[in-house]
Each structure stands twice: as C-alpha cells, then as structure tokens.
A and B are shown apart, each in its own frame.
Chain A
Amino acid sequence: MKLLLVEDDTQLADKLAQTFREAGFRVECARDGATAEFLGATEAVDAAVLDLGLPQMDGLSVLRAWREAGLRFPVLIMTARGRWHDKLAGFDAGADDFLVKPVHIAETVVRVQALIRRASGHAKAVLVCGRLELDTHAGRFLLDGAPLQLTAQERRILAYLMHHSNRVIPRAEFWEHVYDRDAEVDSNSLDVLIGRIRRKLGDARLLHTVRGQGFRLSDQP
C-alpha cells in the first residue's frame, strides 16, 4: 500500500513514516502543501495522511485541489485544532477521517488501515479469501487459523492482493503501490516473490497467474 504522508514537522513525520513502513506501507513524504498537491496528483496513492498547517499551501486547500482533480483516495487529516468547526471544515473539503494532534502513532496507522480497507470495499477489519485471513489491525496473516510467516516485502504484496482480491493486478501496479520509488528492482524479483508466497500458501491454491496480464488472489480457480 502506498501512503502519502504530508507533515512539515520533521520529527513527527520521521516517526510516522517509520511506523507506517514497519506496518508494511510504502511511504512517500511531502513537507509542504505544493509538493503534497503534486505528489497526490501524480503518484498512485492508496491513502494520505495530511497535516492542515503546512507551508506554501494549507492542508485544506491541498485536499480541495485533490478532490477537484477527481482524486478519491482516502485522506486522514491531522490538526492541532480540535474544535468541531475545524473537523467539519475538513470533512467538507473531502476528508475521510481526522485526528487531533498530538496523535498516537499506532492509532494513526490503524485509522489509515481502516480507511484503505473501506475504500477497497471491505466492511470488516478481517479480510478473508478462502482459507487465508488478514487481520488489518494486527497486520497478521492466518492460513487455516495458523500464523503465516512472511518477509516484509512478501507481506506487502500479499496485503495488496488481499485488499484487491478477485481482481487481476497488473505487474506495473505492484511497482507503483508496493515497491519503493527509488528501489532498484530486478524485473524477475516480483516473480520470485510471488513464487515464494505461493509456496507458503501451499495447497490453498489462492494465488493465480493470469498470463500476459498479472496476478489474481482468489479462492475461485
């Protein structure tokens, strides 16, 4: 999942980015409103955490610009102003959720995970595909009720597939949403990782290759 993190407080931004990366997110950071607007409009973002008090362009203006451009990814706003008036202004501009600063970093991650899950059309916190389950709050995979041991990159790929189960995901979409922008990626690495995940899923046979198109996670053949 690719998260756009917009926060001008370097210390807080670094902590948030680190926690989100540990939770399996690919994180793009912006320190000001203008950069945030540009990244939101040009990158394939799954969700954004947006501070309202930003240099160059305030957070509400950035959000309005995104929504006016037709960008519908979920946005969690962070604000130091906790009055309902500010919250309503945020929702009016197109926010999906809000947090009042100082924020609990763990809560921020859970909120963003919930936003992404709901944006993918999943109402419950536990995503299910056949015998495989993903507890989005705990960030844990269970196969037949037993924990599934995955590397960080494997977890990212499988989480993305779980959120978009029953849909063919092209290779390019994995590059955009799962891999870091600056990472040097071998063209075969995705196949290697998919192969490893498939082996770990064993006889569940959930991960299918759609020749010439990409990969699909489904309990249907």
Chain B
Amino acid sequence: MKQVASLRQRLLRAALWTMLSGTLVLAPLLAWSVREGLLQAHDQRLTTTLLSLVASLDRKADGKVVQRRPLLDPAFDRPASGWYWQVQALDTSAPLSVSVLRSRSLWDRDWPLEPVPLDAVPTFHTAKDFDGTPLRVVRQRIRLGREGAEWMLIVVGETRAVSAGLRRFAVVMAAGMAVLWLLQWLAIRLQVHYGLLPLVRVRTALQRIRNGDQQRLEGDWPIELHPLVESIHQLLERNGQLVERARRRTGDLAHALKHPLSQIDTEAQAPAPDSWARVAEATAHLRRLLDRHLTLAASAAQGQHAAVAVGPICDALAAALTRIHPDRPVQYLREGEGHFRGAVEDLEDMLGNLLDNAWKWTRRHVWVKVVERAGGALHVTVRDDGPGLDEATLPLATQRGRRFDERTPGTGLGLHIVQELATDYGGQMDLRIAAGGGLEAELRFESTMTSS
C-alpha cells in the first residue's frame, strides 16, 4: 500500500499553510496602514503649522511682509531641530532684504528651492535635512493682500517620530502575532486530536472485531461517520455470507467427491474386466462436479457492476444455440427488456443454462419474457413447449446432478447452477409447468441494485 500522509499531518499542514499565508498577507498590510496613519497625522501637524504661519504674516503699506507673532512650537526656534519654516517671495523684483523670512531654527541657511511643483493648496513631499535626517515638507503658494505679490510658504518637519512609531508597532505586532500563532497552533492541535478521536475508536473497534471480541461497530458515532460505519457493517455481513457460502460449498464438494472416489478405490482394489467402465463413469462424475464448482467459484456476485441489458444477451445465446443444435428447428421469441446489475458472465451462465435446457426439450418454440419493474426488480421467464415435468418431479429438478432423461446430453447441473447463481445475487429461480405444457423457469431479482 502506498504510504500517504496521516490525517493528523494533513490537517496540521493545512492549518500551518493557512496561518502562514494569513501572516504574510496581513503583516505588511497592517504595517502599511499604521505607517500611513502616522504620516497623515504628521502631515496634519505640518498643515496646521502652515496655516498658523499664514495667519501670523502681515503685509505692511510699503509692501513689506512681516511676521506679527512667532509660532508657538519651540522647535522652530531651536537651531537645526529638523522643524523649519520659510516664506519666500516669488516676485524676483522684491528687495533682497524682504525676499525671505525664515524660522530661527534655520539659522543663517535658506531652505533650498526644490524642483517640485508648487500649488495654491498645500502639497507634500519628502526631503533630507542638511545632516541627512528624513524630513517631510509642505509647500503652498499664497498671495498676501488683494494686489500683493505671490509668496511661497514652506514648513518642514522631521519624521523620526513616525519611524519610531513604526518600529514600536512592528515590535508589538511581532510579539502579538507570535502569541496568536502559539495559541492558534495549540487550538488546532487540540481540534485535530478531538476531531480524529472517533476514527481512533473505529480502529480500536475493528481490532476488537478482528480479535473476535465483538461482531459489529458498537456504540454511537458522529453523523459524518454513519456512512462509513454502515458500509463496514454491510461489508462484514457480506463477508459473513461469503464465508458461510464457501463453507457450505466446500462441504458439498467434499461430500459429493466421496462417492466417485470410493467407486474408483473399490475398482482399484479388486479390478474386474469391466472396471474401466465404472472408473470412466466415476471420472465423468468428478468432471461434472469440477465444472459446477468452477462456474460457481468464478461467480462475481460480490462485486459492484454496471447494468447489463438482458435482451441482447438472450438473443446472442439463442443464436449460439441455433448453431449448436442445427438439427433442431427452434423458433425463438423474445418480448420485453430489462437490466441486470451484476457480472455479465454470471447472467450469461444463468440464461445460457435455462435456454440450453429449453432448446433440448422444446418441440418447436422457446419464449423469453423480460420484465423490469419500478425500483429495478427484474423478472426473466424462459418457457418451452416440450414435455415438461410433473408436479412431483418439479422440486427435484434443481437438485445437483439430477437428470430426468439420460438419453439427452447434459450434466444435470444446469438448473442447479442457475439456482445457486441467482441466490448469490439475492434472487431466486422458480420452476413451474407452463400453461400449454412444457417447462417455465422464472428468474426473479426483486432489486438488482444491490447484490448479496
């Protein structure tokens, strides 16, 4: 048997893959979401600062722009703090002394003009401080006064707080995920163990059946296992029937062998001039027994089979019998159609023996009637217009080796084999005297959907 992963391994592997996939998708998504949130908060602060800066500016009558009150954030007063603002005239004709206002934190440096589009609404971009620290920049173009010149307002804020927030979040997320993973893994192992417990019980119960301690899978089972338990019960029942049948047939064979063997034994001990004839008779008997048991042993009644159309098989057998008995001008008539759910070879053996029997005894006609009833019940009747049997001999006709006319070729096993095969499929064969004389044999399978 090919070794495949156990159910436990399969379930754990599936859970592991799900958890890993979830982590690989969720972790970057969460990190991106937090970073965006922190950045938005930072940008909001820059925007607020920009608005405060606009509010603090004033234009004097001579066109000069001054800051009437300083911004409250002390970071703008601390040199190289990473927080800067700058107001720059866009009109190049403005006097140099009034062209630029800047925060004290810039000290004596100008914030460089970057090749970034400028707009009348705040626009953001990233930049580096003079020492390489990452910064966030917001810029806006404004006009001070109705006819005043245009100015560019720049507010810059360092993003170390954003980076630090992200790092903190990553640490917390990793720790949280590790704990979640551990808890999930424990829960999954517990679920798998608990979920598979009934299967372990099935295994134990089967072991008890094998040891002979019990006959069936006793106890209550989860609803998902009901079909399995039912199938095992059917299998056990079928095996029991097969063993019983095999035992009975072996007993039959042993019993049947005794007579011809003792006949041969007797002739061997005291040979007489005509011993050969009695030995030949005994070997012929042995051969018939062998044929019968080989046919029954080859029966495939225990398997599952597709439906076989009965009519074409009857017709093929009739054609064969016409060739086998060319000197008998038999008129074969069939009506109806039905399906047999079993091995085609067994159906051929049953119908072949019935038709062969009818062919041997008929005067002129052999009738076959096939009826399939609702639910799959199948009835096949084979009738001839031969001499038939009387009421007293009818029950004896299916006995093993019983022959009513030694002048007609045959083994006397045909009807017995038919009956045994029909029984194998849970059916039966009935023999009766036909309405106009002759013999009528009926094969009945009440439901060919299941075989014994």
A86-126 contacts to B (CB < 8 Å):
87-88, 91-92, 96-98, 100, 102, 118, 123
Contacts of A85 on B, CB cut-off 8 Å? 344-345, 348-349
Whether A84 touches B349, Cβ cut-off 8 Å, given contacts A91-B319, A91-B320, is yes
A17 CA to B111 CA, complexed, in Å: 121
A176 CA to B295 CA, complexed, in Å: 43
Any B CB within 8 A of the CB of A195: no
Contact with A along B294-319 (1 / 0, CB 8 A): 11001000000000000000001101
A76 CA to B58 CA, complexed, in Å: 126
Contacts of A102 on B, CB cut-off 8 Å? 287
A82 CA to B352 CA, complexed, in Å: 11
A83 CA to B348 CA, complexed, in Å: 8
Task: Closest B residue to A84 by CB, please name it.
Answer: B352
A92 CA to B317 CA, complexed, in Å: 10
Segment at the A interface, from B125-133, B248-256, B321-329, B427-435: B321-329
Q: Is there an interface contact between B316 and A97, defined as CB atoms closer than 8 Å?
A: no
Task: Closest A residue to B329 by CB, please name it.
Answer: A123
Contacts of B352 on A, CB cut-off 8 Å? 84, 87-88
In-complex Cβ contact of A87 among B291, B320, B327, B344 (8 A): B320
A92 CA to B352 CA, complexed, in Å: 15
Whether A88 touches B317, Cβ cut-off 8 Å, given contacts A96-B323, A102-B287, A118-B326, is yes
A135 smallest CB distance to B (angstroms):
15
Contacts of A87 on B, CB cut-off 8 Å? 320, 352
Contacts of B351 on A, CB cut-off 8 Å? 84
A102 CA to B286 CA, complexed, in Å: 12
Q: Is there an interface contact between B349 and A83, defined as CB atoms closer than 8 Å?
A: yes
B269 smallest CB distance to A (angstroms):
25
In-complex Cβ contact of B348 among A88, A98, A100 (8 A): A88
Give the interface size class of chain A.
Answer: 10 to 19
Q: Is there an interface contact between A88 and B320, defined as CB atoms closer than 8 Å?
A: yes
Q: Is there an interface contact between A91 and B327, defined as CB atoms closer than 8 Å?
A: no
Contacts of A83 on B, CB cut-off 8 Å? 295, 298, 345, 348-349
B255-301 contacts to A (CB < 8 Å):
287, 291, 294-295, 298
A179 CA to B294 CA, complexed, in Å: 43
A206 CA to B33 CA, complexed, in Å: 118
Contacts of B320 on A, CB cut-off 8 Å? 87-88, 91
Task: Closest A residue to B344 by CB, please name it.
Answer: A85
Contacts of B298 on A, CB cut-off 8 Å? 83
Q: Is there an interface contact between B327 and A97, defined as CB atoms closer than 8 Å?
A: no
Contacts of B345 on A, CB cut-off 8 Å? 83-85
A96 CA to B319 CA, complexed, in Å: 11
Q: Is there an interface contact between B327 and A123, defined as CB atoms closer than 8 Å?
A: yes
B112 smallest CB distance to A (angstroms):
96
Task: Closest B residue to A107 by CB, please name it.
Answer: B409
B325 smallest CB distance to A (angstroms):
10
Query: Which of A85, A92, A118 has most chain B Cβ within 10 Å?
Result: A85
Task: Closest A residue to B295 by CB, please name it.
Answer: A83
A82 CA to B290 CA, complexed, in Å: 11
Q: B interface vs A, CB < 8 Å?
A: 287, 291, 294-295, 298, 316-317, 319-320, 323-324, 326-327, 344-345, 348-349, 351-353
A–B Cβ pairs within 8 angstroms, 30 of them: A82-B291, A83-B295, A83-B298, A83-B348, A83-B349, A84-B345, A84-B348, A84-B349, A84-B352, A84-B353, A85-B345, A85-B348, A85-B349, A87-B320, A87-B352, A88-B317, A88-B320, A88-B348, A91-B316, A91-B320, A91-B323, A92-B316, A96-B323, A97-B323, A97-B324, A98-B324, A100-B291, A102-B287, A118-B326, A123-B327
